[in-house]
Structure formats: C-alpha cells, structure tokens
Amino acid sequence: MKKATSKYVCTECGGVSPAWLGKCPVCGKFNTLVEEIETPPVLGKQAPTPTTRPKPLKDIEKERIERFSSGIKELDNVLGGGIVPYSIVLIGGDPGIGKSTILTQVSYHVSKTKKVLYVSAEESLSQVKMRCDRLNISSDNFHVLNECMMENIETFIDDYEFIVIDSIQTVYLNALTGSAGSVGQVKECASNLMRIAKSKHKTVFLVGHVTKEGSIAGPKVLEHIMDTVLYFEGEPQENLKILRAVKNRFGSSEEVGVFEMSESGIKGVNDYNGVFLSDSRGVSSGSVATPSISGNRCMPVEIQSLVSKTVFGMPRRMPLGIDYNRMVLIIAVLERKAYLPFYNQDVYLNAMGGIKLSEPAVDLAIALSLASANKNIPIDKTLTAFGEIGLTGEVRGVSQAEKRVNDSIKFGFKKIIVPKRNYDAVKKYEDKIEIIPVSHLYQAIKLVFADKQEEKQD
Ligand SMILES: Nc1ncnc2c1ncn2[C@@H]1O[C@H](COP(=O)(O)OP(=O)(O)OP(=O)(O)O)[C@@H](O)[C@H]1O
Ligand SMILES: [Mg+2]
C-alpha cells in the first residue's frame, strides 16, 4: 500500500501547500499551516452500506450516565459532578503546576474499581514510581507504560477502561512525518484517542502543555475534539492552584476548583474564606472584597489597587486577574462620573490569590478599590460590594444577587453595597447584614468615603 503523505492546510482559508511555510501562500496569514495526513484514494472501491439510519427523536432511548468519582471532590465539581464515562478530558497547565500529580492521584482512586493505564511519555517508569511512593500509592490495577508511539499505545489500550496520556505533546503517530508536539501530530493523536474513547468505551484523560501565551500548545482544534478542557492555573512557587473549566460538554464551563499542593499530593480546598483575602483589608487603602460567583460557588475575593504618580510619559495600567479593557473602562467612568483624576497616575490592579475574575458583577468592587487607592482612604474591612457599572456610571443589577448576599453573611461581612435593582430580592436578609442599595457609582463612592479624611499620599 502506498504510504500516506502529508499536506499542509491553512486553518484560516483552507489553502493547501505541499510543504510547511511560515506564511500561507493563499491568504498571506502567518503561522496558520497545519499538517494533515493525505491517504491516496482507492479507486473502484465500493462505499460500505451505512450501519446507522436517521431516527425520530421520540424513539431515541436516553442513556443513563453514571458518573464516577475522581476521588478529589473539587475536581468532581469542576467536571460537573464526577467523571463522565467514555469522555475525553484535557488538563492543561504550566510546567510543574501539578498535572501529573493530580492525574496520578485520580488514576489511583479509579484503579480501585477499574483497570487503569497511565501512559507516561514524558517521565521514565522509575520517575513515576518515585512520585507514587511520595503520594503513598500502590495498586494492582494501576499499570504504567513508558511509550511515545501512538500505534504501540493503541495495542495495549483494549485491556483498560481508564487511560491517562501524559502528555499529548510527547506522543506521536509513526504514520505522520512531523515530530512529536507539532500541530499536525497533536491534532491527529488527539483525534485518534477521541475515536478510541467513543468506539471502544474508554475514559481518557490527556495532559496538555501550555504555550507562552497561555493557551494549550497545539491547534485550537484540539479543544474542539475534547469533551472537557480544564486549565490548571497558579504560580508554581505558590501552594494554591486553581483548576478552571474552559469547555465542558457535561457541565458548567464557569466552574473553578481550588487546590492546595503539598508533599503528599494535591488536596481540594473546601473552605474559601480567607483564601482570596489578605490581612491588610481595612488597614491599607485600595483594598475591598467582593462576592464573586464562578459556576455554582460564591467566593469572597479581594481586589487590590495601587496608584502612583506617573513619572514619565503615558500613565501605566496594569491589571492582574482582571481584563485590561474592563479596567480602563472603569477608570474612564471614575474620571468622568465620579470626578477622580487618574490621567497622571499609574494604576496597578490585582485580584488576590491568582484568581481570574471575568464576570461584570465585580465592577463595583474594582471601582471602589480604585477610588480608595486614589483617595488614599482604606475601606471598612467588614464591607463588601457587587454590581455592574455602565458607561453612564449607573450601577446595574446582576444575576444571583441572593446567593451573593447570603454567602457574604456566611463569610462574616457586616455591610454590603448592592445594585438598587437587586434590592427587592435581597432585602429579606436585612436583619443579618446592613444592605446599602445604590443606583449610581458616584452615590456608592460618596457613601463609602463619607466623612472620612483623605490621608496624605506617601
Ligand atoms: N518532594 C516533594 N515535595 C513537595 N512537593 C513536591 C515534591 N516533588 C514535587 N513536588 C511538587 O510537585 C510539582 C510537580 O508536579 P508535577 O510533576 O505533577 O507537575 P506537572 O504539571 O506534571 O509538570 P510537568 O509539566 O513538568 O510535567 C512541583 O512543582 C512541586 O511543587
Ligand atoms: Mg508532568
């Protein structure tokens, strides 16, 4: 049989080139050519008769999905309530963040009921053994394979129900010309594994490396193939790690899990109170807490900001964990609608604990934090706030206001600033927490900083 050849297809325009080029010869875009296997068509071959037929919706029987636990409650939550059988899940993250550790722990837990194959294409068997010893793991159903070639891995897969590939960038298909980790290899290996998961009824977990820009190395198409894509975030030197679902076919993609790394492995953090808060609240200016919702859970997250006089040229705007454009927009609203000058100030903004805040409900807390830094007046430690800010400075209502207020009470806050729109829904909690409804940003700032003396800027 003639060996399969490769062609290079542009992911933007579909243009084809016989060799890899940095620039697509058809559309002129850079870095868009992806290797694809081209198998020569066999002429005269009869098309096989179809094995499936269209079915009326009412005749389709619903399959009962019995999820199984990964052994780590936080991970189960992020997955939407446990591992879905025959699904394919990708866990991406920076080097050294703990991808292999968490999957080793999960494999061990699953091996109590299912046969597990851990394909370690990156580390030798003795390295895996060392990790297992450190994590105090030993099981007869937990098999480890040190192999990189996809075709070889496939020959062993049949015996196992749960398969971990560590990592997708180090395995390769011998039939393909590109080296392991190349866009074509990653895509084809992942498609292969997806096919195996669905046709042979296997649950597959993949480890994916992250590029410098923070996305999973390989084409975006890799994420399309997966049922679930999770990202492990957090500073390697810090113990706290955050696992975020970015795509989930079987649950919310807003879900986050908080983990702690220790010598004996990764553990889920159940009590968020204090995890994303610092001790300087109420003492230093620029810091305020907000009840932020990710997926099903509400976490009190502290937002800190610092302003300093611009010494040279354009003022700097540096957010961490908050979208740059959102920050610039809120600064503009503060300047125009609350009369706080930022034009000659460098602004640094940070969501504590390395968490990323993307929901608009945190706008009001960002604005209050910036106002506090600008005025150099600390905000009361027992106060929290939520609300979306419009371009006119209005404070707009947000979703799940009740949950935010209820959880703020649990976290020990005494006062909460809420959008006026949400007041009716939350006023039943007034005996437990002081609720301050506001309709405009200016009003919120006046309330928070009323009769407080501006401290001398240092
Ligand atoms: N003896 C140890 N005691 C405590 N923590 C350790 C020990 N050995 C490793 N670790 C932790 O485990 C982390 C590495 O975990 P792991 O190998 O699972 O990461 P990874 O994401 O798979 O990395 P890579 O991308 O290199 O494969 C280290 O950053 C370190 O914090
Ligand atoms: Mg690893």
pLDDT at position 456 is: 45
pLDDT at position 370 is: 96
Q: How distant, in Å, are the alpha carbons of 115, 164, 196, 244 from that of 199?
A: 18, 17, 5, 28
How many angstroms separate the alpha carbon of residue 140 from the centre of ligand 2? Answer: 22
Ligand 1 atom nearest 102 alpha carbon: 18
Residue among 101, 123, 233, 237 whose CB has most ligand 1 atoms within 8 A, to mutate: 101
Contacts of 307 (CB under 8 A, 6+ apart): 286, 342, 345, 346, 347, 348, 370, 373, 374
Q: Which DSSP string corresponds to 268-287?
A: E----TTTT--TTTTTSTTE
Contacts of 382 (CB under 8 A, 6+ apart): 282, 412, 413, 414, 415
Report the chain (458 residues): mean pLDDT per 10 consecutive residues. Answer: 72 80 86 76 76 87 85 91 93 88 94 94 92 90 92 92 92 83 83 92 90 58 86 75 87 82 84 76 89 83 93 90 94 93 94 86 96 93 94 94 90 92 93 94 91 54
pLDDT at position 410 is: 85
How many angstroms separate the alpha carbon of residue 122 from the centre of ligand 1? Answer: 13
Q: How distant, in Å, are the alpha carbons of 92, 93, 210 from that of 96?
A: 11, 8, 11
pLDDT at position 62 is: 79
- Residues with CB under 6 Å of ligand 1 are 93, 95-101, 122, 134, 236, 261, 263
- Coil vs helix vs strand at 52: coil
CB burial class (10 A; 0-12, 13-18, 19+) of residue 141?
middle
pLDDT at position 457 is: 45
Contacts of 114 (CB under 8 A, 6+ apart): 68, 141, 160, 161, 162
How many angstroms separate the alpha carbon of residue 236 from the centre of ligand 1? Answer: 9
Q: pTM for this structure?
A: 0.76
How many angstroms separate the alpha carbon of residue 208 from the centre of ligand 2? Answer: 9
Residue among 99, 108, 243, 266 whose CB has most ligand 1 atoms within 8 A, to mutate: 99
